[in-house]
Structure 1
Amino acid sequence: MTSPSQLAATARETTAESPWPVRVLTLKIADYVEKMSPLWVEGQVVQLNRRPGMNTAFLTLRDTDVDMSLSVSIPVPALEAMPSPPQPGARVVIHAKPSFWTRRGTLQLEARQMRHLGVGELLARIEHLKQLLRAEGLFDSDRKTALPFLPASIGLVTGRNTAAERDVVAGTRRRWPAARFAIRQVPVQGNDTVLAVNAAVAELDADPDVEVIIIARGGGSFEDLLPFSNESMVRAVAACRTPVVSAIGHESDTPLLDLVADLRASTPTHAAGAVVPDREAEQKALGALRARSRERLGERVTRERSHLAALMGRPVMADRAAIVSAHRERVVAVVTSGRRTLHNRLRAEHDRTRQHRAHLRAVSPQHTLERGYAVVRQVDGRIIRDPRNVDPEALLRVTVAAGDFGVRPVTAPPPG
């Protein structure tokens, strides 16, 4: 056991070998809390316990946005000084001094004064929050997303078995019977509203089939609709990728959710008419479009027929063979001229070839042989041009017009 003189002086100096006992920690916490000044705290009364004969009453003060609460003790005279006793669910502000009970290790508030949070104060706070969010651009029209023409699935966040749910579903299916819903039933009044609505909106926003989300609640008092002006809910809707329709209360009700939503519907019934088209109206529009298209097409066909008739009525089209006949005569003339030119050219070339043939024949060696001449060659083919070159013993070849034959030379007597 660590002796008191060996205890760490501050929490930072504690170690595993030199820890604080629980009693020391509680005393330290109590000492720190005791140094806190009295302060004003806002919250919602969850329960109030006032026993006869006791000078102190006890209640639980709950945060309006998250599930957190503190125990509060308040003198009975302070309660009786209020114009009306607070009821469960009432929003109040208390002036209290925090205190820490070391024996139970709990924190509580010792209230000295309590006031009802009036409508005027709430309106002022909402107006301040509105201006703050507007300055951030959360209400700007350019960040709002247009609703799809015909969503595959409609997300609906509403109360359980409420008239708002029936109005949205019935109104939507009356306009488009095949509409599909992904419904999340949540508390739409009280302390759990904000957390439940935020969770449902986040779940539907993550569903790829949901193409539009409706947050619907019927009419109610100003206090009943306060959760839909909560900053946490407004920011959650602003962060949605899916278009959101706000259908809260009646036409005169304007919670901050209406300003941040992509579309504000005055009532849940109005929301039904905003998210899907009217089947009958679309069918009528489609029928009218078909009729106009048929009429325009008929006019186009009539106009083209008239134009074709005008073309066919021209003189050149009266005798359809006239154009072909004129071209035929031209083609025949060109063919005749071509044949004549080709014939003359062939005849001229024929005469020219005959003349060349006659000339070649006249100068050819064969023609000379036909006139009685002969060519004498030695056995090796050399032509004999001088008798002195003839070998008396050699066989000579003589070529005449009709062929060739061999001869032997005759030795002539020497000159006298």
Structure 2
Amino acid sequence: MSEAAGDLHSNIVRLHQYGPNENVPNLPTFDPLCLAAQAYMKCASVPFVTVNTDNAETSPWKKLPFLCISSERCIEGTEIIKELSTAGYDLDKNSGISPSTSADILAWSNLLNRSLYPAQLFNWFGELSNYEHFMKPIICRAYSFPIHIYKAKTIRSSVLKMLAGLGVDEKTGYEEAKRIYAALSSRLADREYFFSDSPSSFDSVAFGYLATQLYASNLPVNNMYKMLAQHGNLVRFVNNMYTRFFQGEPFIVKEIDRAQLVEKELQNAKQESVDQVYPEMEELSARTIVALGIGIITLFLCTQNVQFSVLCQILNKKLSSDRDQQLIQRRNVDYLDKEETDSSTDDSEDEEYEEEQEEEQALPDLDSLVYESDSDAYIEDDGGDYDFDDKYLEHYNDNTFISDEEDQELDDDSD
């Protein structure tokens, strides 16, 4: 017996997994990988206990599930089935699976893990209503405030980035899931299990995926449930596994007759055609609204511009009228000031003229009076002839004063 088998048989192993969730009722876990590991251990009669958690960081690998055989030995989720098979709990060998069939089982398991699981992740994280209603509360319960806000945003961003790298979106993800459901239904046919009369490792993997998608009918966007519920043999497979190994009540799916299925397919086709036309209609409506808005704004601005122009004209007329009135008043004032100035000038000139006349009247008549500086004698104009010689008169006519010597000379000459 190997060391792993000895540990498994001597210890009660602990399966650390995500716990149950109200959005996936009646199942021990909402996660397909955790449910697949638990289904394998139940089918192989492995004694174990479950440890439920919402925090994947409790795992050494930062993801769930993981299996602890002892306090010093843990197994990562993808290695659980391989480790249990090595320890003697080999479902494929006990079911008489041939080596060639084992290769088919591996291929089908990889198909679910690599194609169906990304579609399910998109349904959880890509659909915003599912994320807000389902996944975000699970993440927030695992962390304290306010770290859970950052963690929820970071985890969703990383998942969407991973899906984008795989080329998974709303269209490709759901189309791939629909194709896989059809292939699984064709493979199962009327059998109870996929590859033998007893459950194999693939039956546990298929149950993990199909059950978590079938029982998630309460999600706001339950596209995967609707597509899966159309395959009656897959629904029977899930119910058989669930009632036999989990002692639960079978999931009841309302029968969908062929007529309803055809009608639903037609409705889906019509919706797809509408979805193809709607973006163009939406773009056209958006353009129409934008053009209408621009027209209304332009009309409003033009109206305001006309009103503003009329207002400016009125103001200009008012201002021009005020300026004209001020100019007329200013001209009137200037005219009055000018008249006052002219009148005052005339008065001053008259006064000056009168003063000059008075001064002229006050001056003596030089033709009738001759003043002599050296004697008191003077000659009045009595109608007689002046007894002055020509030299004296020459000095008189030149209006120049004569000195005493010249006056004496004039006197001598007159003698």
Q: TM-score range by the shorter chain?
A: under 0.3
Q: Report which of the two has the higher share of helix.
A: 2
TM-score between both structures, scaled by the size of structure 2: 0.27
Q: Report which of the two has the higher share of strand.
A: 1
Which one has a bigger Cα radius of gyration? 2
Larger relative CO (CA 8 A, sep 6+): 1 or 2? 2
